Structure 1
Amino acid sequence: MSTDSLSGQVAVVTGAARGVGAELARTLAARGARVALVGLEPEELKATAAACGPDADWWQADVTDAEAMSAAAAEITQRYGRVDVVVANAGIAAGGLFQDSDMDTWRRVVEVNLLGSATTARAFLPALVASRGYLLQIASLAAMTPAPLMTAYCASKSGVEAFAHALRAEVANQGVRVGVGYLSWTDTDMVRGADEDEVMRDMRASLPWPTNRTYPLEPAVQRIADGIARRSVHVYAQGWLRGYQLMRGQIPLFLGRFAPIKLRGLEPRLRESAAARRGLVGRGGAADEAARAQRRVSG
């Protein structure tokens, strides 16, 4: 399929209020798709939908809320008559030593990134079966390279990768294709939020090239859109990730040998600043925390 083959297709993007999700929605719309945005921040979603043209629309829903996601899937299908592509992109992150982590925050990362992706797939699979469509699960370099100070994020992204691969075999006979998207550190609110933590920033800077760089958003998203048009099994937002895929079995051995050396010097600073590292990172993380707080008040 050509990269122009999205014309007329209906594409759903979760986590579409900002970052990769918002840029991807705009890119898919520019390639002719009608886009449905799902996320937590009404004003951001509304602005992104407006930038995507008159055929775009948005729905406020928490990807971990099965009832809300089922309702959104039904409304989107009714609004557009079909769904051809679903991008399970919504995700949050937290950092720091596992021993010092707030376990509610740790669980929330896994809940949004892993269970939220499964909830998204479950809600939209009937529509994808009907259209013989494509589900792209956004994973991460973190699925290939489990790294210290990112236990919840790495566990959740490894989980969604495995989930997508398993699901692919289940739904292939129904005409649905499933892909996994991989990104390294990309210039988004999440990554910028993580870099506000001086110790985490120093740890990342010590990683070997090319994993220590932050990559621009637009070319990364263009690569993802190319993969969606081709309905690829693997989609790499940075080209070098394809090579990492081939050597991923050796990476944990490398990290297990060299990461402790770096952590030995950082551990005092990590311990001293642990209290400031117990929440989610970035504005997307703040939006998730605000939405949960609002639900507790109203519920």
Structure 2
Amino acid sequence: MHTMWKGTISFGLVNIPVKMHAATENKDIKLRQLHKECQSPIKYERTCPNCDREVKNDEIVKAYEYAKDKFVVLDDEDLEALKKEQADKAVEIVDFVKLEEIDPIYFEKSYYLSPNEGGSKAYGLLHSALKDTGKIGIAKMMIRSKEQLAIIRIYENALIVETIHFPDEVRQVKDVPNIPEEFDTLQKELETAKMLIEQLTTKFDPEKYNDDYRTALLELIEAKKNNEEVVIGETKPKPDNVTNLMDALQASLEKTKKNKPKPKAAKPKAATTKKKVAK
């Protein structure tokens, strides 16, 4: 499993060298966009609307837009120094709370933690302590140039990091339109709904749930492939340097011919008549 981050988790005077690994993966089926006419993949280019040309990576800088069309440019050196300053800090668990005190709206992404060299004993100590107390740890850490609020909890025989949103990243319920302040529910309807919930109540088993749309889409793709309903995108032939050179020379020659001034036409000579000499 790929290591995304290496660092130290600490609580009190205990330091645990750990490695972090993604606990989940995106199984979405990525569909490409093709040009309907020739079936070639669509290419997106970064262009500058002012210079009206494509921009290369080394021409791009990062900036913060603090007002309309007004920017503060941030140098890569400044950002790297700031990121390193935060990344070098140990991830310190500052509080311990109960998991049920955190609403799931705060949860973002999960990562496995594994002990790094020399960290197995301290890793096991934290795992056992969290298990016996039923608590989770609250910490802050740097992941991919962003400071994250996170919880550290146990998952089976492993420690797991769950990144959670900061409070100002969660929108207020009062800003959601059309939510009634009070609910006018008839008692009979409520009792019927509770009976239905009771009948459908079961023990959670994640294995019984499947992504039906993804399965159907894969079956459709496979069926089209087996029936040879496939297309091959046309590729633009790479220009030959010699051909380019000859084309450029020919075009230059034609242009020169067009721009060359036409020779002036010779003026017609005046007609001369000889006088007859009388004999």
- Which structure has more relative contact order (CA 8 Å, sep 6+)? It is 1
More strand by share: 2
Bin of the TM-score, shorter chain as denominator length: under 0.3
TM-score, reference length from structure 1: 0.19
Q: Find the structure with the greater CA-based Rg.
A: 2
More helix by share: 1
TM-score, reference length from structure 2: 0.20
